Amino acid sequence: MNANLLVEQTLNGFQLGVMLFLMASGLTLVLGIMNFVNLTHGSFYMFGAFFTAALFKLTGSLAVAIPGALLGVAALAAAFEATLFRKLYTRDHLDQVLCTVGLIYFCNEFVRFAWGPSPLRAEVPLFLRGSVQLFFDITYPTLRLAIIMVGLVVAAFLYWLIERTKLGMLIRAGAADRVMVRALGANINFLYTFVFAIGAALAGLAGILSGPIYAVQAGMGDNVLILTLVVIVIGGVGSVKGALIGAVLVGLLDTFGRALLPTSISDLGIYVLMAGILAINPRGLFQIHGAKK
């Protein structure tokens, strides 16, 4: 592998890792704080892409379409949490899995009904088209480089939110000991709805960013969800730092595996990594300990 290809594949791995981080960061908080297995998380990824495409077609402006899509996904997630998922918090994980798997099929069919079975086109702004020259005559697509930068900005924002704000203190406390947070009088319902909506918005952002690269179609979030769950298992349930490190590891391993190995072997790489980490530490790399229902 020459130097140009090495740099390109490394950046591709980081770009995939960033996408997975946006998905995993919200879902790991939902799992860690609410102890809720939300398999519809991939559907929010799909809705982010579809809402953006639909709003752009309606308004002709990405400056309107992207914020509108994020608000739409967050509002949809908050409605799901308040009306349906909240009733499942006291049920076992099997009930949660069955309900959310059913919602995956519902959401996929709803998208086919609303937008048709054919993939939609996701527009790319003019300033993100083309390539950027990095160094040593190495060029890289501007869009993919922008996705990496957005992911880093979001990671910094989440660090500030969770580590430097009062709301973040409640989120950390909820992940460590939900019973004590309730006893201290915190508004658990608001905390749960906020975390769920923010997590869904991050998944929607991942869908928005992936739209111009992959097909905007029904079911587009299903395969991404599997990789997201692998990232969470590797990084540790409830840990945003673990989600970031796990996402980068999975992104790099998956990208280089597909570039260097046969498909049948490369697909196993991330699962071998997950098994190896769990063999050493069954809690993952950075799981928040002591979480209680």
Q: 292 in a domain, yes or no? A: no
Predicted local confidence at residue 292, as pLDDT: 46
Q: 270 in a domain, yes or no? A: yes
C-alpha to C-alpha distance for 198 and 168, rounded to whole angstroms = 12
Q: Which amino acid is at 203?
A: A
Predicted local confidence at residue 190, as pLDDT: 84
Predicted local confidence at residue 249, as pLDDT: 93
Q: Number of structural domains, the chain?
A: 1
Helix (H, G, I), strand (E, B) or coil at 264: helix
Q: 12 in a domain, yes or no? A: yes
CATH (domain of 39): 1.10.3470
Which of 52, 17, 41 lies closest to 195, judged by CA? Answer: 41
Q: 213 in a domain, yes or no? A: yes
pLDDT, block means (10 residues), the chain with 293 residues = 78 92 89 86 94 90 92 95 88 91 94 90 81 80 90 90 83 71 76 90 93 87 91 88 91 88 79 90 72 46
Predicted local confidence at residue 250, as pLDDT: 93
Which of 177, 169, 171, 173 lies closest to 292, judged by CA? Answer: 177
Predicted local confidence at residue 288, as pLDDT: 58
Domain limits at 268? 3-280
Q: 286 in a domain, yes or no? A: no
Q: Is 123 left (phi over 0), alpha (psi -120 to 50) or beta?
A: beta
139 phi/psi in degrees, rounded to 5 = -110, 155
Predicted local confidence at residue 81, as pLDDT: 92
Read off the pTM. Answer: 0.89
Q: 85 in a domain, yes or no? A: yes
Q: Which amino acid is at 124?
A: V
Which of 107, 57, 111, 53 lies closest to 80, judged by CA? Answer: 107
C-alpha to C-alpha distance for 60 and 81, rounded to whole angstroms = 31
Predicted local confidence at residue 200, as pLDDT: 94
Q: 287 in a domain, yes or no? A: no
Q: 289 in a domain, yes or no? A: no
C-alpha to C-alpha distance for 104 and 143, rounded to whole angstroms = 29
Q: Using an 8 Å Cβ cutoff, are 62 and 56 in contact?
A: yes
